[in-house]
């Protein structure tokens, strides 16, 4: 069942799922659409004077009787305390972080939840716009934001995040990673399931970055796929719309096709972390690829 009044929710796999907007930020439009020319992408994603387009950093909350699971955590806050004063300021400027709109904790409050209520945090990968909210600055040190939660990430992503190559260095920031390890809160996965996460499985891919996991929540009739950076917005459903940020674009196109093919098995909603204009969409086959069928948005 989907409700699209005030708050969007969808019941799937024994959970009620809610989008958790964590704040709009800006990314270079060219980088978001790779080889697609601006004349095409600016129609749907108008850019500011610095060529940045608005991006959401949308987490997903899954509520069951026993668990409150969060998937990804947005950019976070406390940038100057976490990344250093000068670097933090520069970070906020470059990425045009809007701190006046919804934040991770404000969006959780809408469901009468605080950070301490979260039992599990699944991270698609450690890039700062997904894992920035995983830690916070508190009493002079950086600690896990969700102190009662177990965090999950793929081992191959953790390994890459701790020793990033030059191209990815600016995206993997130690302040978002090391405090989770120090607090012994991080479960390092090497498979596509975990016994604590019922009806949840992972699609592990390496085209965007090493060890990225998209999250599938499924029951007999319906499935919801939290795409992460494999398909960051509904516009990226088209096979050749691939980000300049992706490490291996050709591989990503193949991985994207595989995850879109799952829609042929049962009713499938693709949830988009970065789409500023919708939360999720259904897709249909179109010649030798897929296109958006219907978009859903809580606003």
List residues binding Zn ion (CB under 5 A).
127, 229
Q: b/e per residue, 40-68, with b = 16+ CB within 10 A?
A: ebeeebebeeeebbbbbbbbbbbbeeebb
Nearer to Zn ion, 9 or 75 (CB): 75
User: Taking the complex as a whole, how short is the minimal distance between the CB of residue 6 and Zn ion, in angstroms?
Assistant: 30
The alpha-helical segments, DSSP class H, found in the chain are 29-33, 38-44, 79-83, 85-94, 104-109, 128-131, 155-162, 178-182, 249-261
User: Taking the complex as a whole, how short is the minimal distance between the CB of residue 5 and Zn ion, in angstroms?
Assistant: 32
Q: Whose CB is nearest to Zn ion?
A: 127
Nearer to Zn ion, 15 or 83 (CB): 83
Nearer to Zn ion, 15 or 95 (CB): 95
User: Taking the complex as a whole, how short is the minimal distance between the CB of residue 155 and Zn ion, in angstroms?
Assistant: 17
Nearer to Zn ion, 127 or 236 (CB): 127
Q: Where are the beta strands (DSSP E) in the chain?
A: 2-3, 9-12, 15-28, 52-63, 68-71, 120-122, 135-138, 141-144, 150-154, 186-189, 200-205, 212-218, 222-226, 267-271, 280-286, 289-296
User: Taking the complex as a whole, how short is the minimal distance between the CB of residue 129 and Zn ion, in angstroms?
Assistant: 7
User: Taking the complex as a whole, how short is the minimal distance between the CB of residue 233 and Zn ion, in angstroms?
Assistant: 13
Nearer to Zn ion, 185 or 274 (CB): 274
Question: For residue 81, how far is the Cα from the chain centroid?
Answer: 23
């Amino acid at each position: 069942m989907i409700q699209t009044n005030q708050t969007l929710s969808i019941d799937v796999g024994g959970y009620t799922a809610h989008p958790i907007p964590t704040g709009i930020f800006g990314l270079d439009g060219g980088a978001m659409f790779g080889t697609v020319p601006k004349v095409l992408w600016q129609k749907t994603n108008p850019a500011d004077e610095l060529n940045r387009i608005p991006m959401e950093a949308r987490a997903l909350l899954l509520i069951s009787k026993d668990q409150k699971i969060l998937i990804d955590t947005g950019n976070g806050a406390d940038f100057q305390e976490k990344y250093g004063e000068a670097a933090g300021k520069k970070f906020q400027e470059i990425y045009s972080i809007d701190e006046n709109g919804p934040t991770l904790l404000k969006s959780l409050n809408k469901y009468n939840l605080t950070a301490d209520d979260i039992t599990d945090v699944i991270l698609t990968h450690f890039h700062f716009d997904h894992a920035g909210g995983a830690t916070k600055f508190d009493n002079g040190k950086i600690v896990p934001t969700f102190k009662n939660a177990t965090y999950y990430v793929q081992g191959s992503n953790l390994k890459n995040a701790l020793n990033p190559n030059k191209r990815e260095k600016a995206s993997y920031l130690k302040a978002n990673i090391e405090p989770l390890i120090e607090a012994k809160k991080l479960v390092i996965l090497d498979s596509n399931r975990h016994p604590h996460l019922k009806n949840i499985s992972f699609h592990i891919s390496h085209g965007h970055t090493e060890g990225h996991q998209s999250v599938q929540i499924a029951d007999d009739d319906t499935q919801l796929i939290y795409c992460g950076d494999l398909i960051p917005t509904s516009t990226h459903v088209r096979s050749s719309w691939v980000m300049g940020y992706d490490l291996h674009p050709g591989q990503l196109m193949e991985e994207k096709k595989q995850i879109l093919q799952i829609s042929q098995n049962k009713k499938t909603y693709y949830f988009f972390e970065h789409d500023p204009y919708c939360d999720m969409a259904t897709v249909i086959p179109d010649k030798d690829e897929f296109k958006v069928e219907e978009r859903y948005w809580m606003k």
